Structure 1
Amino acid sequence: MSTHDVAVAGVGMHPWGKWGRNFVEYGVHAARAALADAGVAWPDVDLIVGGETVRNGYGGYVAGATFAQALGWNGAKVATSYAACATGAQALDTARARILAGLSEVALVVGADTTPKGFLAPNAGERWDDPDWLRFRLLGMTNPAYFALYARRRMDLYGATVEDFAQVKVKNARHGLANPHARYRKEVSVADVLSSAVVSDPLHLLDICATSDGAAAVVLTSTEYAKRHGLSTGGRGPVRINAISTVTPTFPQTVIDMPLLSTDATTAVAAPERTFKESIGQAAYDEAGIDPADVSVAEVYDLSTALELDWIEDLQLCGRGDAEALLRAGETTIGGRIPVNPSGGLACFGEAVPAQALAQVCEITWQLRGQATGRQVEGARVGITANQGLFGHGSSVILSV
C-alpha cells in the first residue's frame, strides 16, 4: 500500500436519463447511495466536495455548498471544483489531497447535472480568451464536428473504417445491457449504426453520445479510517485510489501571444515527448508505480466511438495504431485481454458533465469488488479511468484492490 493511497469506502449513482428535474435531487440520491454503500452516517462526513455544473444557475456554481445544504448542515468543510468533463476527477483529487494532508478523514464527493436538449455549447456571452467559445463562434466547430476530425485522423493514419467505429458502439451497447444505471439498454448492430443519420462525416448519430441528466458520488476515507472500521473487499481490504492525474498539456509555447509567433528558430524548444492525452495516463502510471500491462479494466471517455480507440492507445493499452486490431479480435470486450467500458460507457449513459468522471470510478470500484453483476470482468485487480475536459483539462484515476 502506497503512502498516498486513499480508500474508496462507498459509491453511488442516480440513473442517467432525461428526467427534467433539478440537479440537486440527482446528487442527493447518489450521495445517499454512496453513504449507505460505505456504511457511513452523514454526520460523520467532515468534507464535501461538489462538482460544479455551469448550466444550473448559482446553485450549480457553488455545488459543494448546495449539496451540503440539501443533505443537512453538519459542520463539514466544503469545496467546489470545475474542470469541464474532468470535473469529477478534480473534485476527487481535492478530497484526496485533504485526506492525505491529515485535514479530513471522511470525504463525500458529488457530481450531478441537468442538461439541455442537443449538443453542449458554451454559455452565453463573449469570451475571446476561451478556446472553446472561439471554436464555436469563429469556426462553427460544435463538439460532433470536433469528434469527427479525430475520427477522420484515425482513418487517414491507421486505416480505421466506419465499420470499426460502429463496432465500438455495438460492444458498449452490449456491455450496458446489464447496467441498471445506464440510460440506453438496447443491443445495436453495425448496420443500425451505419444506417443512422450522419451527424458529422464520418460519424453517425449512434457513434456520438447524448447529453443526459444523472449523478454519481464517492465516499473517500483515509486508509487508517478504513482499517479501523473494517472496510474490506472479499478479505482483500478496500478498493484504493493509487493515483489521480490532472496534468495540463506541455507545448513549446505556453502563452499564445502574437509577438511570440516568430520564425526565429533560436527561440524554439523541444516538442513534447507525449501528446496531452498520453501524458494524462503516464502521469497516473508514474504516481501509482505500475505499468499499463498491470491494468485489468479501463473506463474511457467515449464521446464518440472513434475517441474510444484513441484512448486505448493514449493509455498505452496497445501500440499506436493498433486499437482497431484489438477491437476486431474482441480483446476490448468483457472476456477479452483488456475490457474497455464494461459499464457501457457514454454510449449507454450520455454526458452528465460533473458526474461522468465519478461514474467511471463507481464502475471500476464495482468491478474490483466483483459486484458488477452481468458485466463483471473476472479477476479484475487494477482499473484505470480517463477523460478529457477540453479547455478544463483531462484526468485519469487508477484504482486497485
Structure 2
Amino acid sequence: MLTDIAVLGAGMHPWGKWGRSFVAYGVAAARAALADAGLDWREVPSVVGADTVRGGYPGYVAGASFARALGWQGARVTSVYAACASGAQAIGTARAQILAGLADVVLVVGADAAPKGFFAPAGGERPDDPDWLRFRVLGATNPAYFGLYARRRMALYGDTPEDFARVKVKNAAAGALNPLARYRKAVSADDVAASPVVADPLRLLDICATSDGGAALVLSSMAFARRHGHPDPVRIRAVSTVTPEYPRTVLDLPDIATDAMVGHGVADRPFRPFRASIARAAYEEAGIGPEDLSLAEVYDLSTALELEWYEDLGLCPAGHGAALVRNGVTALGGRVPVNPSGGLASFGEAVPAQAIAQVCELTWQLRGAAGDRQVPGARAGITANQGLFGHGSAVVAVR
C-alpha cells in the first residue's frame, strides 16, 4: 500500500529508576534502534523527538536534545508534545515526512526521567481543559480517577476486584519474560489483594508506577528498506491521532475528562466513546478490523482500564472485557494476547516513550523475535494509548 512505511529498527533503554537524564535514556534507545536497522546516525536525514515536560528546556526541544547528544550532523529536527500520546504524534510526524518524500529514513525517539509517586497537574491554569477541571474541581488525580472508572465498571457490568487482579497477574507473567521491563516478577491474585488500597477498589498492584526509560524506532520508505537489505520489513499501516467530539461549551461537557468524551451526533456520526473512536480511525486507515489482530499493546494505567480497552478495540462487546481475561483470551497463549510486553503494569510510565515502546513490541512480535513471550504466527497488531487534552494514539503494524 502507498501509505505503508517500514520499521527498520527498534530499540529501548530498560525501564526503571536509574537517576540519569532523559537524554541518556533516549540516546541509548536510539543507538540500539540504529544498530538494529544497520544504519549509522550520520546516514539519518531527520529525527523526531517526543517531548517531556519534566526535563526543563531540553525536554521541550527533545528532538534537538537527542540530535545534539548523538552528534550534530545536519539532520532535520522536529519536537512534538501530546502528553502520553507524544510517541504516536512523533511516529505520525515521521510517517508524514517519509510519505511526503521529505526524508527516506527518520529516527523517532522518546524518553523520560519521571518523579516518584503519581504525576501532579502541570502547565498552569487551564479552565477550558476538562482534565485540568478533573484535577482542580473534582480533586480527581489519576489514581482517584482510575478508581472511579473501576467503580463504574462494577456498577454497570458486574466486574469484581478479582477480575481486575487477573489483569495484573496476566501482565506480570508476561513482564517476567521481558528483559526490558522494570518489574520482572510474577504475582498472584492473593498478592494483589494483599497490596494496600490506593483508590478503592484499586490496590497498589492495580495501578502502574512512574518510571525512567526510553524507546526509539528507525522508520523508512519501503523503497529505502528494500535498497538496504530489508525486503520484508514490519510495516506501519496506520497512525491514529484523532480528538474527541463534544460540545464546545465547557458547561455542556458530559464528563470531566477527555478520555470519557463521547460523540453527540456531530455531522451525523454515530455515538462513539473517545477511545473507541481512536481505534476505529486506525482500523479504517489500515483496512483491517479487530478480527484480524494477532495481538494488542494497550495503555493499562490501571487494571480496570485495560478491560475498557478490550471493548474500545472491538475485541468484545461493552461489558464483556472481564470475560476475556477470565477465559484467558488476552493472556499469552490466548486468542488475542494483550500487552505481551507486560504493559505498563510491568514497565511503569515513561510518558514520551510509551507509545513508541508499544510499537517496538509489535515490531519484535511481528518479526518473531520476542523470545519466551512470542505470540505464534503474529501478523497484525495494534497499539492503543491516549494523552491529556484529547490526544488520541493508535498504531497498526503488519507483516
- TM-score w.r.t. the length of structure 2 is 0.94
The Cα of 1:125 is off from its aligned counterpart by 3.5
Report if aligned partners of 1:7, 1:226 keep a CA contact under 8 Å in 2.
Answer: yes
2:105 corresponds in structure 1 to 106
Report the Cα distance in structure 2 between the residues aligned to 1:271 and 1:35, rounded to whole angstroms: 43
Pairing of 1:236-247 with structure 2 (within 5 A): 237-247=232-242
SS in 1 for 2:365: helix
2:145 corresponds in structure 1 to 146
Report the Cα distance in structure 1 between the residues aligned to 2:88 and 2:80, rounded to whole angstroms: 9
Are 1:64 and 2:63 an aligned pair? yes
The Cα of 1:273 is off from its aligned counterpart by 2.1
Report if aligned partners of 1:85, 1:392 keep a CA contact under 8 Å in 2.
Answer: no
Report the Cα distance in structure 1 between the residues aligned to 2:378 and 2:269, rounded to whole angstroms: 37
The CA deviation string for residues 72-115 of structure 1, in whole angstroms up to 9 with x for no partner, is 01111010111110110000000000100000111000000001
Pairing of 1:360-371 with structure 2 (within 5 A): 360-371=358-369
Report if aligned partners of 2:307, 2:321 keep a CA contact under 8 Å in 1.
Answer: yes
Mean alpha-carbon deviation: is it higher for 334-343 or for 132-141? Answer: 132-141
- Pick one of 307, 311, 319 that aligns with 1:313: 311
- Pick one of 264, 278, 296 that aligns with 2:276: 278
Report if aligned partners of 2:46, 2:106 keep a CA contact under 8 Å in 1.
Answer: yes
The Cα of 1:268 is off from its aligned counterpart by 8.8
User: CA 1:392–1:215 in structure 2 vs 1: closer, same or farther (change >3 Å)?
Assistant: farther
SS in 1 for 2:102: coil
Report the Cα distance in structure 1 between the residues aligned to 2:242 and 2:81, rounded to whole angstroms: 14
Report the Cα distance in structure 1 between the residues aligned to 2:133 and 2:383, rounded to whole angstroms: 29
- Pick one of 356, 359, 372 that aligns with 1:358: 356
Report the Cα distance in structure 2 between the residues aligned to 1:84 and 1:268, rounded to whole angstroms: 28
Report the Cα distance in structure 2 between the residues aligned to 1:134 and 1:255, rounded to whole angstroms: 14
Report the Cα distance in structure 2 between the residues aligned to 1:371 and 1:122, rounded to whole angstroms: 39
Report the Cα distance in structure 2 between the residues aligned to 1:48 and 1:283, rounded to whole angstroms: 26
What letter is aligned with 2:237? N
The CA deviation string for residues 126-155 of structure 1, in whole angstroms up to 9 with x for no partner, is 333333333222221110111111111111
What's the % identity of the aligned pairs?
68
Pairing of 1:354-393 with structure 2 (within 5 A): 354-393=352-391
SS in 1 for 2:12: strand
1:331 corresponds in structure 2 to 329
Report if aligned partners of 2:11, 2:29 keep a CA contact under 8 Å in 1.
Answer: yes
Pairing of 1:1-400 with structure 2 (within 5 A): 2-123=1-122, 125-232=124-231, 237-251=232-246, 253-256=247-250, 272-400=270-398
Report the Cα distance in structure 1 between the residues aligned to 2:359 and 2:389, rounded to whole angstroms: 22
- TM-score w.r.t. the length of structure 1 is 0.94
Count of residues in Structure 1 that have an aligned counterpart in Structure 2:
387
The CA deviation string for residues 139-198 of structure 1, in whole angstroms up to 9 with x for no partner, is 211101111111111111111000000010000000011101100001111111011111
The CA deviation string for residues 1-58 of structure 1, in whole angstroms up to 9 with x for no partner, is x110000000000000011111000000000000000001101111100000001100
Report the Cα distance in structure 2 between the residues aligned to 1:72 and 1:255, rounded to whole angstroms: 47
Mean alpha-carbon deviation: is it higher for 152-161 or for 58-67? Answer: 152-161
What letter is aligned with 2:6? A
Report the Cα distance in structure 2 between the residues aligned to 1:280 and 1:136, rounded to whole angstroms: 24
What letter is aligned with 1:326? L
The CA deviation string for residues 278-321 of structure 1, in whole angstroms up to 9 with x for no partner, is 00000000000011100000000000000100001100011211
SS in 1 for 2:106: strand
Report if aligned partners of 1:82, 1:392 keep a CA contact under 8 Å in 2.
Answer: no
What letter is aligned with 1:240? R
The Cα of 1:388 is off from its aligned counterpart by 1.5
Flag structure 2 segments of 5+ consecutive residues without an equivalent. Answer: 253-263
What letter is aligned with 2:248? T
Report the Cα distance in structure 1 between the residues aligned to 2:336 and 2:356, rounded to whole angstroms: 21
User: CA 1:323–1:78 in structure 2 vs 1: closer, same or farther (change >3 Å)?
Assistant: same
1:264 corresponds in structure 2 to none
Q: Runs in 1 of length 4+ with deviation above 6 angstroms?
A: none
SS in 2 for 1:193: helix
Report the Cα distance in structure 2 between the residues aligned to 1:340 and 1:128, rounded to whole angstroms: 36
> What is the RMSD computed on CA atoms of the aligned residues?
1.5
What letter is aligned with 2:287? G
The CA deviation string for residues 190-235 of structure 1, in whole angstroms up to 9 with x for no partner, is 1110111110011000000000000000000000100111214xxx
The Cα of 1:124 is off from its aligned counterpart by 6.0
User: CA 1:333–1:184 in structure 2 vs 1: closer, same or farther (change >3 Å)?
Assistant: same
User: CA 1:136–1:22 in structure 2 vs 1: closer, same or farther (change >3 Å)?
Assistant: same
SS in 2 for 1:139: coil
Report the Cα distance in structure 2 between the residues aligned to 1:268 and 1:383, rounded to whole angstroms: 30
SS in 2 for 1:165: helix
SS in 1 for 2:371: coil
The Cα of 1:392 is off from its aligned counterpart by 4.6
